[in-house]
Amino acid sequence: DSGVTQTPKHLITATGQRVTLRCSPRSGDLSVYWYQQSLDQGLQFLIHYYNGEERAKGNILERFSAQQFPDLHSELNLSSLELGDSALYFCASGHGFYLEDEQFFGPGTRLTVL
Amino acid sequence: QKEVEQDPGPLSVPEGAIVSLNCTYSNSAFQYFMWYRQYSRKGPELLMYTYSSGNKEDGRFTAQVDKSSKYISLFIRDSQPSDSATYLCAMSAVAQKLVFGQGTRLTINP
């Protein structure tokens, strides 16, 4: 158990809908990273927050947004969902400030868009 | 061409064997190298984190980095059935995102 929690574990929704994924980092970690894992693309970096501030963006679609709250938990919002958004979404947390610092992954949220 | 290439396997070996997992990369700016283990339907678990060329050992695991050849390896000694998982290499340059390999699916047969 990495100490990172993610809810919900599974999410099934329809095209065009909006969902929110939640992540609580390990105690003491200030960084939260979001990733998408699909069979064809593998693990892809989406976005990084450090202590409430956005630090870096990766391959994140404009339909997706995220934020990190004062208590350091983070939410990833996915809107206007498409079939291709079906994937595993992981958050990771770390103590460091940089993208290349050690990251500890949560158990993931499996999103299915029908 | 992908920045990080990793043979997806599957790789199947008998219990007790030495396992060698490898990744090659094309970006010479990569300086940080990691290995993650991912069990089915679980999140990736950080196994090894290395910065420079050379070897790093942790228990039955040894990570090896050869920057001149742009090649990294993970060796597992005395492999156990509990080592059966997908192994992902990951790497990054300074202040850059992690880039992951596709993962190698490993099975250790009792």
Separation CA B34–CA B98 (nearest Å): 9
pLDDT at B59 over 90: yes
Are A99 and B96 a contacting pair at CB < 8 A?
A: yes
Nearest residue in chain B measured CA to CA from A94 = B46
Confidence band for B51, pLDDT divided at 50, 70 and 90: confident
Helix (H), strand (E), coil (C) string for B29-97: CCCEEEEEEECCCCCCEEEEEECCCEEEEECCEEEEEECCCCEEEEEECCCCHHHCEEEEEEEECCCCC
Nearest residue in chain B measured CA to CA from A42 = B102
Closest CA–CA distance from residue A96 to any residue of chain B (Å) = 12
The radius of gyration of chain B's CA atoms, rounded to the nearest angstrom, is 13
Decide: A108 and A51 in contact? Cβ < 8 Å. no
Are A102 and B46 a contacting pair at CB < 8 A?
A: yes
Q: What is the pLDDT of residue A83?
A: 96
Helix (H), strand (E), coil (C) string for B6-39: ECCCCEEEECCCCEEEEEEECCCCCCEEEEEEEC
Query: For the CA atoms of A15, A6, A100, B89, what is the dihedral angle to 10 degrees?
Result: -80
What does the pLDDT average to over A27-43? 93
Closest CA–CA distance from residue A97 to any residue of chain B (Å) = 9
Confidence band for A46, pLDDT divided at 50, 70 and 90: very high
pLDDT tens profile A68-86: 999 999 999 999 999 999 9
